[in-house]
A and B are shown apart, each in its own frame.
Chain A
Amino acid sequence: MLHKRNIITLLAGTMLVGAISIPALAQERVQAVATFSIIGDLVGQIGGERVDVTTLVGPDGDGHVYSPSPADARRLAEGDVVFTNGLLYEGWIDRLIASSGTQAPVVVVAENIDAIPDGGHGDAHDDHDHGHDHDDHGHSHDDHGHDHDDHGHSHDDHGHDHDDHGHSHDDHGHDHDDHGHSHDDHGHDHDDHLHGEFDPHAWQDVGNVKVYVANIRDALIAHDPAGSDIYSANAEAYIGELAALDAEILEAVAALPKGALVITSHDAFRYFTHAYGLEFDAPLGTSTEVEATARDVARLIETIRANDIGAVFAESLTDARLIEQIAREADVPVAGTLYSDALSPPDGPAGTYIDMMRHNISLISEGLGS
């Protein structure tokens, strides 16, 4: 009896060792799993050659409402690191991670950003402050950039830190203190952020994506310390590109006529408004899963007429019929399709995060420019 049990234990032990060692031998590149296309692009940018990125919700897929397949669970189980946006954007991910039994660390890339409360649809319009906000914001943005530059400098130390830290994930909070002032303040209530009701579309503010990138870099370094230099260099270069993008968007928004208003299908651009001062309005709220009301549609039509707005915009993941109806009645053109929640396929206009933001802002400039 005892003997038999020993054999079984031995067998199980051998199998366990096998299960661990086989992937380690077969895969030299880090297997990263990203929940949707935008996160996938960012992880690919930082990981470069050392990382294979698998994206669960592909281009033109809606991360709000997704029904995962067993293949997705397998991808999670086989992944080394899992990247999610957080802020409850992917409502389905926690259950999928639990059921997949993956041992991979789950990285919430929106950690430590300034999350905007998801204050319902109506509220968003009340606290619209036009020109003012905008200028202030420009400032805070520069600061933002600075912080990050500092960050870039102290980078090598950072990498070292990480090597010392090794695998312990808990120490992450620590490292983040170095990131600059603004983030320290948020370290505390950050738990609330991730579990509360917040607007998850944080990537519409390029400043937030710089934080995303830092989080992704740290996670990759924690998993694969040998690639530390590469990840740091990639992140630094990419943050440089983001800074240029940030400036480009600010400039384009400043060039728009005063009181410009972007009317689109669903309310996914609050972070954009917060960061760049450009106002958005939409018949649907932050989720794609709600139904429009006649009152909101009527209000939008009247807004377009009253403010002499030149165009409205469709959105890639949302049924365009409602916005077309609004355009028809207000007698303005639909100036094109904005990408908010997912990238387009690689050959489309928004194949990467940076292309997506450029595509959106140039479309808005064309549509609303005088």
Chain B
Amino acid sequence: MFDALIGPFIQFDFMRRSLFGALVLALGAGPVGVFLMLRRMSLTGDAMAHAILPGAAIGFLIAGLSLPAMTLGGLTAGIVVAVLSGLVTRYTVLKEDASLAAFYLLSLALGVTIVSLRGSSVDLMHVLFGSVLALDDAALILIAGITSVTLLILAATYRGLVMECVDPVYLRSVARIGTPLHLVFLGLVVLNLVGGFQALGTLLAVGLMMLPAATARFWSADVTMMVVIAVATGMLSGMGGLLLSYHHGLPAGPAIILVAGIAYLISLFLGRESGLIRAALPRRHLEA
């Protein structure tokens, strides 16, 4: 048992790197996912994933197949889309989902156009996306840096973020930090997505952000507890997925997300907070 669970990580350096990448990513993406979910913005991650394409393409045009340039470009494009859609949401009649959809589609179309004009058929997404099995020092430093920044910013803005989730109108009435806070938070989403692409290699990167958060919601109503559960779920998914990939020959990135998905499905039925089975047996709650 011990051999099956720990052995691969002792034996192979690349497994240790993969595990480190997945754990660190879960640490940053977990809380971001919880706040996204509480703001009913769970699909934002998916939209953002597309929004980064033009930035990556411009990075590619300027510096060729250089990973830092494309990462930086993707980051910039994502943040521009996030900030623009956030501003439109706050100052116009358009709601968050509509403004985000508008900007990400604009961004995606621009990206495809830039790639096509250059006439290159290099699949930029393939290049931008790494693989969890191929994390080199640069990728690990990037992921670790992103998570550090995320945790620092979350720590500094935690109270405001929680208040924004619970009662944004109240926050706006007592302080003017609501809008900047929202934009900073969207920046964190983009940052963690870019880190996730490096590690997980596909659009599934969003999965490590949202699935643990949705899982956590079934076990606690407390925000801090949700964050803790989400991080733990993400970390266990990372380790479980890598072991599945090692022992059963599943592709590594999807395996991690599948494990997180299974955790979600189990919680859906067994979860303490409105899990389907608990909900079907309401009396137990009354007795307790």
Binding site for A on B (CB under 8 A): 8, 11-15, 17-18, 116, 119-123, 126-127, 130-131, 133-136, 139, 201-202, 242, 245-254
The smallest beta-carbon distance between A333 and chain B, in angstroms, is: 15
Q: How large is the interface on A (under 10, 10 to 19, 20 to 34, 35 or more residues)?
A: 20 to 34
Residues on B with C-beta less than 8 A from A67 are: 116, 121
Contact A325 B135 (CB under 8 A): yes
Shortest 8 CB-CB contacts between residues of A and residues of B: A291-B251, A294-B245, A61-B121, A294-B246, A321-B134, A322-B134, A295-B249, A325-B134
CA distance A294 to B127 in the complex (A): 20
What 14 new A-B contacts, CB under 8 Å, besides A293-B250, A293-B252?
A60-B122, A62-B121, A291-B201, A291-B252, A291-B253, A292-B251, A293-B251, A294-B8, A294-B252, A298-B14, A298-B15, A319-B131, A322-B134, A328-B13
**CB-defined contacts of A298 to chain B, threshold 8 Å:** 8, 11-12, 14-15, 246
Chosen A-B contacts, 26 in total, with CB atoms closer than 8 Å, are A61-B121, A62-B123, A67-B116, A288-B126, A291-B254, A292-B131, A292-B133, A292-B251, A293-B133, A293-B245, A293-B249, A293-B252, A294-B15, A295-B246, A298-B15, A301-B12, A301-B14, A319-B130, A319-B131, A322-B133, A322-B134, A325-B17, A325-B135, A325-B136, A328-B136, A329-B12
Shortest Cβ distance from B259 into chain A, in angstroms? Answer: 13
- Residues of A within 8 Å of B136, CB to CB, are 321, 324-325, 328
Residues in chain A near residue B246, CB distance under 8 A: 293-295, 298
- Output the least CB separation between A93 and chain B (Å): 13
A57 and B123 CA atoms in complex are apart in Å by: 12
Check A294 against B133 for contact (C-beta < 8 Å). Answer: yes
- Give the chain A neighbours of B245 by CB distance below 8 A: 293-295
Binding site for B on A (CB under 8 A): 57-58, 60-62, 65-67, 69, 283, 288, 290-298, 301, 319, 321-322, 324-326, 328-329
Closest A residue, CB atoms, query B13:
A329
On chain A, the residues within 8 Å of B119 by CB distance are: 58
B18 neighbours in A (Cβ, 8 Å): 294
Residues of B within 8 A of A295 (CB): 245-249
Q: In the complex, what residues of B have CB within 8 A of residue A324's CB?
A: 134, 136
Q: Tell me the complex Cα distance, A39–B245, Å.
A: 37
User: Please, how many angstroms separate the alpha-carbon atoms of A328 and B140 in the complex?
Assistant: 15
- Shortest Cβ distance from residue A159 to the other chain B in the assembled complex, whole angstroms: 37
Assembled-state Cα–Cα distance A296/B248 (Å): 10
Q: Closest approach, in angstroms, between the C-beta of B171 and any C-beta of chain A?
A: 43
Q: Name the residue on A nearest B253 (C-beta).
A: A291
The residue on A at minimum CB distance from B125 is A65
Bound complex: CA A290 to CA B133 (Å): 13
A297 in contact with B133 given A61-B121, A329-B12, A329-B14 (CB within 8 Å):
yes
In the bound complex, do residue A61 and residue B122 qualify as a contact, i.e. CB atoms below 8 Å apart? yes
A321 to B242, CA, bound (A): 18
- Pick the most buried of B116, B130, B133, B201: most chain A CB atoms within 10 A of its CB: B133
Q: Report the Cα distance A297→B17, complex, angstroms.
A: 13
Q: Which residue of A lies closest to B17 (CB)?
A: A325
Find chain B residues with CB under 8 A from A60 CB: 122
B127 touches A319 (CB 8 A): yes
Question: Is there contact, CB below 8 Å, between B120 and A297?
Answer: no
Query: Once bound together, how far apart are the Cα atoms of A65 and B120, in whole Å?
Result: 12
A100 to chain B, nearest CB (A): 17
When distances are taken between beta carbons in the complex, the residues of chain B under 8 Å from A66 are: 121
A301 to B121 Cα, complex, angstroms: 32
Among candidates A61, A62, A319, A325, residue contacting B14 with C-beta atoms closer than 8 Å? A325
A319-B131, A321-B131 known; A65 and B247 CB under 8 Å? no
- The chain A residue sitting closest to B202, CB to CB, is A291
User: What chain A residues lie within 8 Å of B123 (beta carbons)?
Assistant: 62, 65
Residue of A nearest to B241 (CB): A294
Q: How far is the CB of B73 from chain A (nearest CB, A)?
A: 18
Given the complex, which residues of B lie within 8 Å of A319, measured CB to CB?
126-127, 130-131, 134
Chain A residues with CB below 8 A from B242, complex form: 294
Which residues on the A side are within 8 Å of B139 (C-beta)? 321
Contacts of B122 in A (CB 8 A): 60-62
A58 to B14, CA, bound (A): 35
Q: Complex Cα distance A229/B199, Å? A: 57
| In the bound complex, CA of A57 to CA of B119 (Å) | 9
Q: Chain B's nearest CB lies how many Å from the CB of A166? A: 37
Q: Residue of B at shortest CB range from A122? A: B249
**Nearest Cβ on chain B to A163's Cβ, whole angstroms:** 39
Contacts of A65 in B (CB 8 A): 121, 123, 126
Bound form: Cα–Cα A328–B119 in Å: 34
Instruction: List B contacts of A326 (CB < 8 A).
Output: 14
A319 to B198, CA, bound (A): 12
In the complex, A314 Cα to B120 Cα: how many Å? 21
Q: Are B249 and A291 in contact (CB under 8 A)?
A: no
Chain A's nearest CB lies how many Å from the CB of B239?
A: 12
Which of B12, B121, B247 is most buried by chain A, counting CB atoms within 10 A of its CB? B121
Q: Which residues in A have their C-beta under 8 angstroms from that of B116?
A: 67, 69
* CB-based nearest B residue for A342: B121
CA distance A283 to B132 in the complex (A): 13
Closest chain-B Cβ to A193's Cβ sits at a distance in Å of: 26
Which residue from chain B places its CB closest to the CB of A65 in the assembled complex? Answer: B123
Residue of B nearest to A292 (CB): B133
In the complex, the answer to whether A321 meets B250 with C-beta atoms within 8 Å is no
